[in-house]
Amino acid sequence: MRRFEVLSDEERVDRYKALARKALLAYGLAPDLTYVDQGTHTVYRAFFGGGAFAVRIGEAGRDLALVRRELLWLAALGRDTSLAVPEPILTLHGDLFSSVSMEGVPGIRSCSVVRWVEGERREAELTADEVAAMGGLAAALHRHADTFRWPEEITPVHGDAQSRAFAACEALRPAVNAPGDPSLLADAAALIADEISPSPSAGPIHGDLRLRKLRLDHGVGGVLGFGRCRPGADLEDLSVLWMELAGRRSALELRAALLEGYRAVRPLPASCEDPMRAYAVLRALEDAARGLDALSRERRSKGEAAERVAAELRRTLSTLLQPAEA
């Protein structure tokens, strides 16, 4: 059998399909599988029992506590709300996922089967009504999170924003060191300290609530992509959608609709624009620190890694550190 590392993308997809079929034995299922996409999971679509489902094969070495957190919250959302989410199907033994390995595929992989979420993906041209509906989706998600908690043994530590900003800046300093960079990082940390209040405890947030993760289908709202869920603040989640609306035609109107739709379901502070901008700055710092770490692990030159990360971070912070629009 040829080594996995030398296979073409098409050959890898076929091998993952064989692994998925093996994993589905734990569910007592043997449906036809159609390849959909590859990212954090390799995803296949299957039809059985009168419905459509996604069969997801995780990356090798993926933290199983993270997998369990994602699926536990999805199961609770499917049970407790009317939101369309990828609710997990249990194995024959009542487990949220199975673990599977196979010759020719490196590592032990998690396999989960979740309900397929229908609906249109809306990113290009958005109306105010559509954005308001998306705000309502985010609010419904956070309203459920008000009372939902993971078991203590799989709940990660909730780091406050100031500590996270300090850790990211420290990781970035060796690479982001051109004239003006130290003051840029200091301004970023100062905004975060001024605008984000410490939170001793928090419920779960989606963690990557982008437009492409939301679905609208004949009045039913859907949310996808919970792989980065963790404890956090509602405004951190909402800030992702808020920033994605920047630069669009009628951005002010769309942002107002987002907040109006959210407030129709769940309260928000009267003034939340500056805290959301601060959360966007924090996200930029942490994304840059992760990017630098990934480039280093890929054994690229430190100079190349520093140049790419620093240039992108400078562009992003130069925009975000401007006063927020009304």
Higher pLDDT pick, 207 / 308: 207
Residue 300 has pLDDT above 70, yes or no: no
Tell me the per-residue pLDDT of 47-91, one tens digit each, with 9 for 90 and over: 999 999 999 999 998 999 999 999 999 999 999 999 999 999 999
Q: What value does the mean pLDDT take over residues 299-307?
A: 62
Helix intervals (H) in the chain: 9-23, 64-80, 128-145, 161-172, 181-195, 234-244, 251-263, 273-297, 302-320
Confidence category of residue 305, pLDDT binned at 50, 70, 90 = low
Q: DSSP letter string over 186-251?
A: HHHHHHHHHH----S---EE-S---GGGEEEETTEEEE---TT-EE--HHHHHHHHHHHTTTSTTH
Tell me the per-residue pLDDT of 178-212, one tens digit each, with 9 for 90 and over: 788 888 899 999 999 999 987 656 789 999 999 99
Go through 296-316 and write b for each residue having 16 or more CB atoms within 10 A of its CB, e for each that does not: eeeeeeeeebbebbbeebbeb
Domains and CATH numbers, the chain: 4-115 (3.30.200.20), 120-320 (3.90.1200.10)
What's the mean per-residue pLDDT of the chain?
A: 90
CA-to-CA distance for 231 and 145, rounded, in angstroms? 9
Confidence category of residue 326, pLDDT binned at 50, 70, 90 = very low
Tell which residue, 173, 195, 198, 174, has the closest CA to residue 185. 173
Tell me the per-residue pLDDT of 93-135, one tens digit each, with 9 for 90 and over: 999 999 999 999 999 999 999 999 988 777 678 899 999 999 9
Q: Other CB atoms closer than 10 Å to residue 15's CB: what's the count?
A: 19
Task: Determine contact, residues 23/111, Cβ cutoff 8 Å.
Answer: yes
Tell me the per-residue pLDDT of 135-161, one tens digit each, with 9 for 90 and over: 999 999 999 999 999 999 999 888 899
Query: Would you give the DSSP letter of residue 119?
Result: S
Q: Is 105 helix (H, G, I), strand (E, B) or coil?
A: strand
